[in-house]
Amino acid sequence: MLSRLSPRSILMVLASAVCGRAATAIAQIIAAFYLTPDQFGVYAAGIGVLIATGLLRGGGTGNHMLTMKPEEFRADGGRFFRYSIVFASICFVLTLGAAWPVAGAFAATKHYPETELRNVIIVLGVQFTAMLIGQYPRARMSADLRFTELSLVDIVTGATKLAATWLLASWGWGALALAAPVLCVTIVENLWIWPRCRLERDELRVSPGWFGHTLIEMRLPLIMAILATLNTQSDALIGSVLLPLTVVGVYFFSMQLAAQPAQLVAGSLRSVLAPVTAKFRGDREGEMQSIRDTFNAGMVFTPIVSMSIPALFDAFERAVWHGKWADSRWPVFILSALLTYPTVVQLVVAPISGIRDWGAAIRLDLGRALAKILGAGIAAIFILWLQPGTTTSATILALFVGGISAAVATYEIFRVMLHTGMTRASIAYELYSTPLAALLSAVAASGLAHSVVEPLRAELSVNIANVLECCLAAITYAILSMVLLRFGYTAALERVVYALPAPLVGPIRKIMVL
């Protein structure tokens, strides 16, 4: 499937994914240095409000446009763009109207800072509306497989987000230091891609009766859009309504940090896999092979990337934040380990959407959404009943959200992959072997680094000892991961390598000693 892309495109996609996620992670690290858990909780509450007001997203056009071919954009793109504008306007009006009453209610009942929460909601509403407007040119460029240009945009916007977060957090903007940079990034992206998406003359024209026709056609993608919205931060919405502000802040910080590696794998590749798989639409064997390749690659790399965070977190937290975010240790570990399976489901949905099997895609996204909502709801009940401290509350929330999400995702993956022709034994092996090995590698790397550095603490300063421990854990985990890939999953690694364009296969085989 990926062999349809040029080596330059794949390298640029990987580079932008790594740079973008690295910039986001560094931005969060910087923000966590200046901001308190309560301010992260305010931002989480703003995101939760946007879940409700932006539930309809772009009416489903975002999912549909990623599956369109270039000729479909030229012949029929105008009505999908105008349809998305209608829903973007609805989102903006609802968010603006909710900002004052919601901020007032949260301030009265949950002791949120009213003005700060209101400003966060307004900024996020403007950002979300601008993002919906930018869906069309981005999908237009994806249909032409112009991933090199899109990757360059992502690298620039990642750097913009990092710089804006650093400046605003250091200037004391509080929760707005998390919201405003996202708006900056969206504006920069729109200003870049709209002039370069190569719109043809009269491409956005529509014929009479276009709205009703589009509304009927978009009924299933609209359901997917609703589920995609619920899959983002529905746990933050439930938590901000039911739980103390500090608990929501610690959990949200942990979730954001733990999700960065997973988003590196799934977030960037999903927008690539859907338009690439659309080229196979109608070829049954090509469709099934695309889904199998995505699953195999996801189960090989996602656990290894995800567990890199808990391998380093303990030493890193002490070196950078000096115990300020120590409450996040177990939530980060639990979420990193359990998010592997929802992430792989998110990956598998991409080729399924590309072939426009909306029924299967809806079922997968529905399972993810319900699992997250159910997990957050049950955890909130336990926390309100037991009244534990902040650390225990955040850990309970992570355990229920991550555990139920992982269980549902595993079940759905089994169903989908059996349908593609894989055997139960091969699916089970892929599902459990790499995640277990990655988890043990993370524990081993963290434990070994701590054991080596602990006797040296008397001779070193506290910061130097913590930095040394963090570096040693990173090196150890990297070595264990390379060994795991090369000798534990050679066959799976070769399948992924041979799916790449021919010019990349040789160099990667030499690097991995295949």
Tens of pLDDT along the chain (514 residues) come to 444 544 455 556 666 666 766 777 788 889 999 999 999 999 999 999 998 898 888 888 887 887 788 888 888 888 989 999 999 999 999 999 999 999 999 999 888 999 999 999 999 999 999 999 999 999 888 888 787 788 788 888 888 999 999 999 999 999 999 999 999 999 999 999 999 988 887 888 888 888 888 888 888 888 878 887 887 778 888 988 999 999 999 999 999 888 876 666 555 555 555 555 656 566 667 677 778 877 887 888 889 888 999 999 999 999 889 889 999 999 999 999 998 899 888 888 877 876 777 787 888 888 888 999 999 999 999 999 999 999 999 999 999 999 999 999 999 999 888 888 888 888 888 888 889 999 999 999 999 999 999 988 888 888 899 999 999 999 999 999 888 877 766 766 676 666 666 666 777 777 766 6
**Could you give the CA distance from residue 48 to residue 72 in angstroms, rounded to a whole number?**
35
- Which burial class, exposed, middle or buried, applies to 510 when counting CB atoms under 10 A from its CB (0-12, 13-18, 19+)? exposed
Which pLDDT score, from 0 to 100, does residue 500 have? 61
Residue 199 gets which letter from DSSP?
P
In the prediction, which pLDDT does 119 show?
A: 97
pLDDT recorded at residue 209: 81
- Distant-in-sequence, close-in-space partners of 510: CB < 8 Å, separation ≥ 6: none
* Residues across the chain: 514
Q: Give the pLDDT of residue 149.
A: 82
Dihedral class, residue 202 (left if φ above 0, else alpha if ψ from -120 to 50, else beta): left
* 8 Å CB contact between 305 and 296: no
| pLDDT given at position 236 | 85
Question: Angle at CA 166, nearest 5°, toward 116 and 119?
Answer: 15
Q: CB 497: neighbour CB atoms within 10 A?
A: 17
Structural Rg of the chain based on CA atoms: 23
Amino acid 268: pLDDT: 54
| Residue spans per domain, the chain | 1-237, 243-503
Q: So what's the pLDDT on residue 3?
A: 46
3-state secondary structure of 321: coil
Single-letter residue type at 345: V
The number of beta carbons lying within 10 Å of the beta carbon of residue 274 is 25
What span, in angstroms and rounded, lies between the C-alpha atoms of 410 and 400? 15
DSSP letter (8 states) at residue 113? -
Q: Would you say 259 and 337 are in contact if contact means Cβ atoms under 8 Å apart?
A: no
Rounded to two decimals, what is the model's pTM?
0.85
Note the pLDDT of residue 338.
92
Other C-beta atoms lying within 10 Å of the C-beta of residue 64? 27
**Cα→Cα distances 74→65, 69, 134, 211, Å:** 12, 9, 17, 18
The confidence score (pLDDT) of residue 265 equals 58
Tokens 């699953």 correspond to 295
